[in-house]
Structure 1
Amino acid sequence: MFRSVILRWLPLKHLKNESFLQISESGKDYTKKFWNTKRHISVSSISLKKRKSSEEKAIENQGKRVIRYAPKAGSEVVGIWRNMTVQEIANVLKKDVDHVYKALEFADKNSDTIYKKDTVIHNPQIIRDVIKISGCRFKIVARPDEEVEKEENKDAVPAPPAPPERLRPRPPVVCVMGHVDHGKTTLLDALRDTSVVDTEFGGITQHIGAFEVKLPSGEKVTFLDTPGHAAFSAMRSRGAHATDIVVLVVAADDGVMEQTLESVRMAREADVPILVAINKIDKPGVNIDKTMRALAQHGLVCEALGGDVQAVAISALKRLHLDTLVEALILQAQLMDLKADPGGYVEGVVIEAFVDPRTGKQATVLVQRGTLRKGCVIVAGNGWAKVRVLQDSAGASVLEAPPATPARVLGWREMPSAGDRVLEVESEKRANEVMKWRHNQRMKEKQESDQEAISIKESEHQTQYKQMLAQKRAMGRFRTRPDGPRQKMIQEDDHPTLSVLVKGDVDGSVEAILDILETYDEHDRVKLELVNYGVGQVTPNDIEVAQAFKAIIYAFNVECPPALAVEARNSGVTVKRHNVIYKLVDDVKEELSARVPLTQDEELLGEANVLQEFQVSDGKKKVPVAGCRCVKGSLVRNALYRVIRGQNVVFEGKLASMKHLKDEVTTIKRDMECGLRFEDPTFSVQPGDTVICYKMVDVLGKTNWDPGF
């Protein structure tokens, strides 16, 4: 029954800390029992028993040789990947190629493959066996060259500056800035013979506009109209950085205001020249010199006062001295010698972005270099477009937009944001590549910020854990079990919360609203949560999100279709439409105030002076009674009382009895005397004490949030 078994050691010098046991036998069935002593395998006993025929065939096919090997715990870990070459395996093992050849003799013994340095091993099991034979452990990693490829910058970048011989003269870009209601839009209406100001809600500009105006002299000028309201500081900043000249409009009757100074600061940060237009000189009693002196106090010295800043007194409403302002603009532009390269790839900036219900995503682009034409592929921020339609500021279709020309672009796959840099790329494939790279960069930045937040949370948790551990160790064997039931893992947050969903007509308006909401700082009283925002009219998805979060939808200058309005009403969702930004902010403040918890405040009812204390009989006991005279208001029996002696409060509580003469009463009016017995029988009054009668009333809360305007 038993057959002979031949045991012998196979010393392999190239293997690390491993020995192999080769078992040669002529029998078909076997079992073995062995133990491992340090680096060698010793056989204690071998008994052979009969097994299944399937195992017999398997052993015969293995060529009479069985090899057992496994790396030890704590061995070096190397990174491997699919389709490695022999040389790559040797590199990760930090050994020569001959070592890999010898390991492959055991890992791939049934194959006739002749291995060379550049032979690709497609079977991942063979790669893993070679690593194990070499006494190492492995982990799956990405191919190193793939990591380098991922880190390669695939973003679109601006082209190098054009040589001087390719530059051509271009129109100036003029940004009109100033305080709200100082006449900026009226000035532009006078220059281009329009009436945009009549269509503006609330009499204020709430969008940044780009217009190309042909002056009487035949020259073209691109004007940027910026809002003057305090809420639109980001729009003013974009206008200042995209312009060549800033026209600062100052009303002669109001003078220098807060947004006037902010516009001056932004123009200086953008390093562009300033031209002052003193408006509303047609009003009676205005003082132009006073306005110029006020500007000089803030470092803007006009030529009339010996400075270098041109100042023109105008009346935009009456169209007075507009030709003088135009001449000053042309002169300033000629001094700057503005030029650009009309050829090559297009570069520009997004002035505004919005969604039209009929034509879809649109963006107003100010071309700064190159010529934008139909069919161009452009990228801007998180959006890209293949230009389908180009329109001018009047809405008419144009074939091309040369430098310093604003154009409305249709054909956006994803809508950009206002202020994004516009760059032309070779093809749609390249645009998709740029979008993918930018998306990956945003995800990496998000991961870094999330990791930072996680690290802070972990640090806080470790600090709390160490404090708790120290407390437990200090208690020692006197440690007690916590009283009461265990806290629930999930607790409902009953803190008052206002959830809002913002939809706006253009990206700049949504940005301004979000900037205002970020200034809210009373989250300890009422939480203000922004659940979603976007550009365009209200959609069914907005209704679903608002219903899930119990949010109010604020629609700014956009419509809510009638069918959706009915659906929102049936779903219990409130949709509020506004077309003036400060009215929207006032509405948010009212909603916050309505959610502020009620507070109790004292309401003074009356005041009395203590004349004398009496001792009266109450059954068999003597109790103190304060003889008082009401000197203010009235005293009420069921109200609260406070006794003040000097500067100190000596009693607070209720009355046990109130009498006038011998009758129990409920009210004592002014100049009437009474006897007051307090609930505390041990309390004694003194002549000269002041008795205050008051009650607690509920007071509606009101938010103290100040958005800055």
Structure 2
Amino acid sequence: MYRNLLFNRLPVKLLHREYQLPKVSCFIKALTNNNLKVRRISISVVCWKKRRSEEEKAAVSQGRSAIRYSPKAGSEVVGIWRNMTVQDVADVLKKDIDHVFKVLNFADKTGMTYTKDTVIHNPQVVRDIVKISGCRFKLVARPDAEMKDEENKDAVPAPPAAEEALRPRPPVVCVMGHVDHGKTTLLDALRDTAVVETEFGGITQHIGAFEVKLPSGGKVTFLDTPGHAAFTSMRSRGAHSTDIVVLVVAADDGVMEQTLESIRMAREANVPILVAINKIDKPGVNVERVLRGLAQHGVVCEQAGGEVQAVPVSALRRRNLDALLEALTLQAQLMQLRADPAGQVEGVVIEALVDPRTGKQATVLVRRGTLRRGCTLVAGAGWAKVRILRSAEGASIEEAPPSCPVVVLGWRELPAAGDLVLEVASEKRAAEVMRWRAAQRMKEKQQSDSEVIEAKMSEHQQRYRAMLSRKRAMGRYKLKPEGPREKMIKEDTHPALNVIVKGDVDGSVEAILDILDTYDDHERVRLDLVHFGVGQVTPNDLEIAEAFNAIIYAFNVECPPAVAADAKDLNISVRKHNVIYRLVDDVKQEITARIPVTQTEEVIGEANVLQEFMVSEGRRKVPVAGCRCVRGSLAKNALYKIIRGQETVFEGKLVSMKHLKEEVPTIKRDQECGLKFDDPEARVQPGDTVLCYRLRDVAPRTDWDPGF
């Protein structure tokens, strides 16, 4: 029952797919005859029709699928998923619906009646359909599920509340101004505290939020921002989170750099300005000069015919504070500040930190709704199930209405300062939002990475084309390597400073990173930030520092004793600082220490050439320069230059220095001498200048200016 089939130029796959042969043996021979390729395929098969019918009858009688031929390697691979419909199977197989119905009679023994929309719940049935159809399968996600994943699952603010749901709320006031103009002292006077005495270096380095009760019974929420030039991001964040900006200007200093920056930020945030002219108790101050300085930059106060309220105060003596609070209350009444105390909570993260005892916590300014214990919040890349709410004074509270600053504990992941805080329905919803945001961040990173990869590929292609052009121009000759094999592996010997930054709060770390971003002296020393974070120094930080040979800068955080001991054993430097400009000075010193030492020429003497003499040494004549020292002194062991006009014709050392006929070590001013140089080819002419100099090592300093 065997027969031989001879085919010419007929693909084997076509035969296998058409006849569903259980076994195929083929021999392919390529013969060349008169430059013409002829392909012959010899196939021996069993009489498959009779054999297949017998197998089908036996399979049906045993209650199993009739056709179970496994597809061969090279068959088409199709994607399948759970709960496919009959139409889905037909679509992935690229067959008509009748083909699937016919195969289902063999693949499904339950006798179920199928339509094109019937869901096939048994995955084995789908696998059998694919195999019988001569294909292989792989498990994939449902196509509509992939489309569903593309939907925006992020948490967004609720639409504006109805007019009847709005209620009056306290104003949020941000105190801004130049460093050392008395902002924190003014706030201490308003709330009867002494925060300024606890600040390192006498400057504010964090953004603070607290409430002040007015004599009338109302409340005002104050935000204290740093005035130092390093904390620009904190000031900008405070200006965009407030209703009114109190611009503190010292009467003795007037308008300064950070004063102008605060005015610009208030205008960008579109919030009204109220001026507090501080330090009026100092002798010789001129308030009118301050008003004129403000008017020159567009802040025209009422005393000068404008609309901006200006209140002269003395925070140290606590004078005119009532007038300042009255001005704030009046401004708030004119603005008619209202919010919806019900509904979903909305707010903004003022500051975030990791406390060694209580864990992750963030100061949140509530803008809408009432924040209570048990709420689920999302903010940036962090989310929380609120466990504890604390006021600015540290007292535990049950709820926080609009315009109330509150410390929130219970964060699973720490948010960043400035992140928008939104309440969600459940922890499941919070996890969904976090997954979606993480996916979006990954997509953004992939996009940025792809741009870098494309740029690198383009650069590589350009180099390759240039090399190929050179190779083709050389013909049969090969390009030689650039150097020996040992030198082809280039090591990076450029001096570098690797740093790890750990800070007490997110805002401080942000300020330090902003300062490091201004570094622009990478040609001499490269500054690399290998890691940063909020909280104490951890063993993980030591591992990173050891791998990158980095210095750990701990700003306002402690290094546990066990970690400090490990750092000492590993010879890792941990620098603790609590004032930001001292930390920056330390970084500048480390950069300066890594700049290679340069040598400069220090001229110690100068001589004029009077005449050249040819002196006999044995059988040869050597030139000797007859000179007179006209400035400084000449030393035999120094270096020399011969300058002719504007050109240097010789650089080197002396072999002999003689005064009259005696060898001398030095020649003083106005003395004549004979100089013989170590190069016999060095010739002088009358009128040439001979410079005597030494090379002095100079340790240069970095030119990096962080802006303060």
Instruction: Quickly say closer, same or farther: Cα 1:619–1:110, change in 2 above 3 A.
Output: farther
Match of 1:51 in 2: none
Contact 1:377 / 1:425 at 8 angstroms: preserved in 2?
A: yes
Report the alpha carbon displacement of residue 230 of structure 1 after superposing the two structures with TM.
Answer: 0.7
Instruction: Quickly say closer, same or farther: Cα 1:489–1:375, change in 2 above 3 A.
Output: farther
Q: Structure 1, residues 556-590: CA drift from partner, whole Å, max 9, x if none? A: 11111223222211221111111100000000010
Instruction: Quickly say closer, same or farther: Cα 1:395–1:67, change in 2 above 3 A.
Output: closer
Q: Would you say how many aligned residue pairs link Structure 1 and Structure 2? A: 682
Match of 2:398 in 1: 399
Report the alpha carbon displacement of residue 76 of structure 1 after superposing the two structures with TM.
Answer: 8.9
Query: 1:446 and 1:201 mapped to 2: Cα distance?
Result: 38
Contact 2:495 / 2:525 at 8 angstroms: preserved in 1?
A: yes
Correspondence 1:224-239 to 2 at 5 A: 224-239=223-238
Query: 2:328 and 2:381 mapped to 1: Cα distance?
Result: 36
Match of 1:310 in 2: 309
Contact 2:379 / 2:422 at 8 angstroms: preserved in 1?
A: yes
Contact 2:24 / 2:44 at 8 angstroms: preserved in 1?
A: no
Contact 2:509 / 2:533 at 8 angstroms: preserved in 1?
A: yes
Match of 2:197 in 1: 198
Q: 1:129 aligns with which of 128, 131, 145?
A: 131
Query: 1:296 and 1:125 mapped to 2: Cα distance?
Result: 81
Match of 1:677 in 2: 676
Match of 2:184 in 1: 185
Match of 2:36 in 1: none
Query: 2:616 and 2:129 mapped to 1: Cα distance?
Result: 106
Contact 2:171 / 2:220 at 8 angstroms: preserved in 1?
A: yes
* Farther off after superposition, 117-126 or 146-155: 117-126
Matched AA of 1:198: E
Correspondence 1:56-71 to 2 at 5 A: none
Matched AA of 1:342: P
Instruction: Quickly say closer, same or farther: Cα 1:139–1:468, change in 2 above 3 A.
Output: farther
* Farther off after superposition, 148-157 or 342-351: 148-157
Instruction: Quickly say closer, same or farther: Cα 1:668–1:377, change in 2 above 3 A.
Output: same
**Is 1:622 aligned to residue 656 of structure 2?**
no
Query: 1:529 and 1:547 mapped to 2: Cα distance?
Result: 15
* Farther off after superposition, 202-211 or 122-131: 122-131
Q: Secondary structure at the match of 2:705?
A: coil
Report the alpha carbon displacement of residue 339 of structure 1 after superposing the two structures with TM.
Answer: 0.5
Q: Structure 1, residues 611-667: CA drift from partner, whole Å, max 9, x if none? A: 333332222333332222222222111221112233332322222221111111222
Query: 1:377 and 1:271 mapped to 2: Cα distance?
Result: 31
Match of 2:474 in 1: 475
Match of 1:264 in 2: 263
Report the alpha carbon displacement of residue 335 of structure 1 after superposing the two structures with TM.
Answer: 0.3
Q: Secondary structure at the match of 2:476?
A: helix
**Is 1:424 aligned to residue 426 of structure 2?**
no
* Farther off after superposition, 364-373 or 250-259: 250-259
Instruction: Quickly say closer, same or farther: Cα 1:210–1:60, change in 2 above 3 A.
Output: same
Correspondence 1:318-467 to 2 at 5 A: 318-467=317-466
Q: Structure 1, residues 169-197: CA drift from partner, whole Å, max 9, x if none? A: 11100000011111110111111111111
Query: 1:166 and 1:181 mapped to 2: Cα distance?
Result: 43
Query: 2:644 and 2:244 mapped to 1: Cα distance?
Result: 72
* Farther off after superposition, 581-590 or 599-608: 599-608
Identity %: 68
Q: Structure 1, residues 219-259: CA drift from partner, whole Å, max 9, x if none? A: 21000000001110000011000000001111122111111
* Farther off after superposition, 285-294 or 176-185: 285-294
Query: 1:150 and 1:325 mapped to 2: Cα distance?
Result: 54
Report the alpha carbon displacement of residue 542 of structure 1 after superposing the two structures with TM.
Answer: 2.0
Q: Secondary structure at the match of 1:445?
A: helix
Query: 1:35 and 1:614 mapped to 2: Cα distance?
Result: 95
Report the alpha carbon displacement of residue 457 of structure 1 after superposing the two structures with TM.
Answer: 1.4
Query: 1:664 and 1:432 mapped to 2: Cα distance?
Result: 90
* Farther off after superposition, 382-391 or 232-241: 382-391
Instruction: Quickly say closer, same or farther: Cα 1:489–1:144, change in 2 above 3 A.
Output: farther
Q: Secondary structure at the match of 1:436?
A: helix
Contact 1:211 / 1:222 at 8 angstroms: preserved in 2?
A: yes
Query: 2:202 and 2:262 mapped to 1: Cα distance?
Result: 20
Report the alpha carbon displacement of residue 47 of structure 1 after superposing the two structures with TM.
Answer: 8.7
Q: RMSD of the TM alignment (CA)?
A: 3.4
Correspondence 1:587-626 to 2 at 5 A: 587-626=586-625
Report the alpha carbon displacement of residue 4 of structure 1 after superposing the two structures with TM.
Answer: 7.0
Instruction: Quickly say closer, same or farther: Cα 1:492–1:621, change in 2 above 3 A.
Output: closer
**Is 1:20 aligned to residue 18 of structure 2?**
yes
Query: 1:285 and 1:676 mapped to 2: Cα distance?
Result: 70
Contact 2:127 / 2:137 at 8 angstroms: preserved in 1?
A: no
Q: Secondary structure at the match of 1:470?
A: helix
Report the alpha carbon displacement of residue 506 of structure 1 after superposing the two structures with TM.
Answer: 0.8
Match of 1:97 in 2: 97
Which ranges of structure 1 fall in alignment gaps of 5 or more residues? Answer: 8-14, 25-29, 49-54
Contact 2:249 / 2:275 at 8 angstroms: preserved in 1?
A: yes
Q: Secondary structure at the match of 1:691?
A: strand
Match of 1:142 in 2: 141
Query: 2:107 and 2:41 mapped to 1: Cα distance?
Result: 26
Q: Structure 1, residues 391-425: CA drift from partner, whole Å, max 9, x if none? A: 11111111211100101111111111111111111
Correspondence 1:516-595 to 2 at 5 A: 516-595=515-594
**Is 1:284 aligned to residue 286 of structure 2?**
no
Which ranges of structure 2 fall in alignment gaps of 5 or more residues? Answer: 6-12, 31-38, 61-65
Query: 1:58 and 1:481 mapped to 2: Cα distance?
Result: 69
Q: Secondary structure at the match of 1:477?
A: coil
Q: Structure 1, residues 491-531: CA drift from partner, whole Å, max 9, x if none? A: 44322221111111111001111111111122222221222
Match of 1:10 in 2: none
Contact 2:603 / 2:693 at 8 angstroms: preserved in 1?
A: yes
Query: 2:186 and 2:636 mapped to 1: Cα distance?
Result: 70
Contact 1:100 / 1:130 at 8 angstroms: preserved in 2?
A: no
Matched AA of 1:269: E
Report the alpha carbon displacement of residue 156 of structure 1 after superposing the two structures with TM.
Answer: 1.3
Query: 2:103 and 2:41 mapped to 1: Cα distance?
Result: 23
* Farther off after superposition, 248-257 or 163-172: 248-257
Query: 2:210 and 2:183 mapped to 1: Cα distance?
Result: 13
Query: 2:692 and 2:562 mapped to 1: Cα distance?
Result: 58
Query: 1:306 and 1:467 mapped to 2: Cα distance?
Result: 71
* Farther off after superposition, 580-589 or 123-132: 123-132
Match of 1:298 in 2: 297
Report the alpha carbon displacement of residue 364 of structure 1 after superposing the two structures with TM.
Answer: 0.7
Query: 1:483 and 1:255 mapped to 2: Cα distance?
Result: 64
Q: Structure 1, residues 659-701: CA drift from partner, whole Å, max 9, x if none? A: 1111112222223221112233333323332211112222223
Q: Secondary structure at the match of 2:543?
A: helix
Contact 2:69 / 2:131 at 8 angstroms: preserved in 1?
A: no
Contact 1:658 / 1:676 at 8 angstroms: preserved in 2?
A: yes
Give the TM-score of the pair, scaled to structure 2.
0.89
Instruction: Quickly say closer, same or farther: Cα 1:5–1:291, change in 2 above 3 A.
Output: same
Contact 2:4 / 2:44 at 8 angstroms: preserved in 1?
A: no
Instruction: Quickly say closer, same or farther: Cα 1:206–1:700, change in 2 above 3 A.
Output: same
Correspondence 1:492-507 to 2 at 5 A: 492-507=491-506
Q: Secondary structure at the match of 1:389?
A: strand
Match of 1:27 in 2: none
Q: Secondary structure at the match of 1:478?
A: coil
Give the TM-score of the pair, scaled to structure 1.
0.89
Q: Secondary structure at the match of 1:295?
A: helix
